[in-house]
Chains A and B, each alone.
Chain A
Amino acid sequence: MKKLNVIESIGRYTLLMQKVFSRPEKMRIYYTRIMQEMEALGLNSIGLTAIISVFIGSAVTLQMAITLESPFIPQFMIGYATREVMILEFSSTVVALILAGKVGSNIASEIGTMRITEQIDALEIMGVNSASYLILPKIVATVFFFPFLAIFSMLIGIAGGYGMAEITGIMNPMEYIDGLRYYFYVDEIWYALVKMAFFAYFITSISAYCGYYAKGNSLEVGKASTKAVVVSSIVIMICNLVLTQLIRT
């Protein structure tokens, strides 16, 4: 029975996406909506991303400094390890998981509330493709904006690590910078950005799906919101593995 539910959900999700990506009514309206969503979902997430990134960057540097304390390991390896952690996994995967919590629940509860208060029905009655009108701008906004959040997270996280080295004196800051430059490949950044774009798509579309098919009352909207975060997080982890295998090997 559960297996059937999963298959049914995938089917409904696919049909919803077909509706979402059908030709928009009027591009100008969509452009305005995309800008609004970029502000709501992207710009408003900068603060959270910055706070988490700076603390994780600092903590990673601290952990590396403690763990790699050996006369056989050069100090610049701490900067190198911090950079790799921040670029390869933290700024994309972990930030995406955090955004799944913030943005995902926001999208699911917003669309879910619109569903139970008949706002979506009102759009349908007007002849509007409600799925496309409500969801497409969110997807475009996040797929475009989240990679910038990833770049921002990388910079802030690495700066956090530098700050930790500078403030605590746990290592020589110049060695930290040497580590950052050690074996640096731009491809790693591209890999992180591609991953983030995929994660953005899944967070937004899955959360929108959960909200769009919510029914009943506010309790159900809450459940849809929780489901959106849980499913998005699982999909992010699976997608991370698949993309790493595909791109990095």
Chain B
Amino acid sequence: MIKAENIVKSFDGRTVLNDITVEFGTGQTNLIIGRSGSGKTVLLKSLVGLHDVDEGAIYYDDVCFSKLDFKARKAIRRDVGMIFQGGALLDASTVAENVKLPLDLFTEQSEEEKMERVNLCLKRVNLDNAHKLYPSELSGGMVKRAAIARAIVMNPRYLFCDEPNSGLDPQTSIVIDNLIHDITKEYNITTIINTHDMNSVMEIGEKIVFIYEGNKWWEGSKDDILHAENRELDDFVFASAMAKRAKGIK
């Protein structure tokens, strides 16, 4: 479980996150949605510790993560996996080297054990034949899958995904969504996904938090979202004229 309590974050005097309190459960896919510039990426990066919050606290299960120093955070980070918007694979390393890096740095496993784990993770994301390829040789979907393999190689308890579908076609997006969802269930991970892709919301959104202008505006499940009486949420979810007509919004 990951919990944010009354978190506030500002940049140069401009409040980007305003008193947000939210809890993300274990073993479910939690989605943070909102328009571009609403503060959802800042929220995700604050949760993962890439931004320090100005006020409030962030808990990883019972541990107050936001109060920990760099060394203490390091221990928790071994349990964290993150998939970045652009994949963030190391350009100078092959796919296998990228996936193996956390094992090289933080485990005492033999080379065979490490490669066995790498093979397992790459197989799990259907990238069995991409060991020796460099990130520049991969398609968008393959980059995302390699990033997922790297994120899960240490058996994380918490998985963060920043717009995992951006730049992908709808079919590949669904493949990535389902992969993240299946991994979440398989390893009982607390997964938080930052997205503005409505297909993802309807496909895997078990808990959805809608961020509007830095505030938590609404939360619920994918079943609730269609019937929610919330003007800003409706504008976001039913953005197209056709979708608005379907819901009867003027």
Q: Specify which chain A residues have a CB less than 8 angstroms from the CB of B242 in the assembled complex.
A: none
A127 close to B84 (CB less than 8 A): no
A118-B85 contact, Cβ under 8 Å, with A29-B104, A125-B48, A127-B74: yes
Q: Specify which chain B residues have a CB less than 8 angstroms from the CB of A29 in the assembled complex.
A: 104-105
B78 close to A127 (CB less than 8 A): yes
A92 to chain B, nearest CB (A): 30
A118 close to B77 (CB less than 8 A): no
- Counting contact residues on chain B (CB < 8 A from A), the size range is 20 to 34
A124 sits at the interface (CB 8 A): yes
A119-B106 contact, Cβ under 8 Å, with A124-B50, A125-B77, A127-B78: no
B88 close to A126 (CB less than 8 A): no
- Residue ID in chain B nearest A121 by CB atoms: B50
CA distance A152 to B84 in the complex (A): 44
B90 sits at the interface (CB 8 A): yes
Q: B106-125 interface mask toward A, CB cutoff 8 Å, 1 = contact, 0 = none?
A: 10000000000000000000
Q: Specify which chain A residues have a CB less than 8 angstroms from the CB of B140 in the assembled complex.
A: none
Q: Specify which chain A residues have a CB less than 8 angstroms from the CB of B73 in the assembled complex.
A: 127
Q: Specify which chain A residues have a CB less than 8 angstroms from the CB of B104 in the assembled complex.
A: 26, 29
B25 sits at the interface (CB 8 A): no
A113 sits at the interface (CB 8 A): yes
Chain B contacts with A in 59-81, Cβ cutoff 8 A: 73-75, 77-78, 80-81
Chain A contacts with B in 106-158, Cβ cutoff 8 A: 113-114, 117-119, 121-122, 124-128
A126-B86 contact, Cβ under 8 Å, with A119-B91, A121-B50: no
CA distance A29 to B93 in the complex (A): 13
CA distance A125 to B156 in the complex (A): 12
A25 sits at the interface (CB 8 A): yes
- Residue ID in chain A nearest B98 by CB atoms: A122
B102 sits at the interface (CB 8 A): yes
CA distance A194 to B84 in the complex (A): 43
B91 close to A125 (CB less than 8 A): no
B127 sits at the interface (CB 8 A): no
A103 to chain B, nearest CB (A): 16
CA distance A84 to B191 in the complex (A): 66
B88 close to A26 (CB less than 8 A): no
B101 sits at the interface (CB 8 A): yes
A119 close to B90 (CB less than 8 A): yes
B72 to chain A, nearest CB (A): 11
Chain B contacts with A in 142-188, Cβ cutoff 8 A: 150, 154, 160
A126 close to B101 (CB less than 8 A): yes
B207 to chain A, nearest CB (A): 22
Q: Specify which chain B residues have a CB less than 8 angstroms from the CB of A26 in the assembled complex.
A: 104-105
CA distance A113 to B86 in the complex (A): 12
Q: Specify which chain A residues have a CB less than 8 angstroms from the CB of B80 in the assembled complex.
A: 125, 127
B211 sits at the interface (CB 8 A): no
What residues of chain B have their CB less than 8 Å away from a CB belonging to chain A? Answer: 48-50, 73-75, 77-78, 80-82, 84-86, 88-91, 101-102, 104-106, 150, 154, 160
The 3 nearest A-B residue pairs measured at CB: A127-B77, A122-B88, A118-B88
26 contacts between A and B (CB under 8 A): A117-B88, A118-B84, A118-B86, A119-B88, A119-B89, A119-B90, A119-B91, A121-B50, A121-B84, A121-B88, A122-B84, A122-B89, A122-B90, A124-B77, A125-B77, A125-B80, A125-B81, A125-B160, A126-B101, A126-B105, A126-B106, A127-B73, A127-B74, A127-B78, A127-B80, A128-B105
What residues of chain A have their CB less than 8 Å away from a CB belonging to chain B? Answer: 25-26, 29, 113-114, 117-119, 121-122, 124-128
For the complex with contacts A29-B104, A121-B88, A125-B80, 19 further pairs of A-B residues with Cβ separation under 8 Å are A26-B104, A26-B105, A29-B105, A117-B86, A118-B84, A119-B88, A119-B90, A122-B84, A122-B88, A122-B90, A124-B77, A125-B50, A125-B81, A125-B160, A126-B101, A126-B102, A126-B106, A127-B73, A127-B74
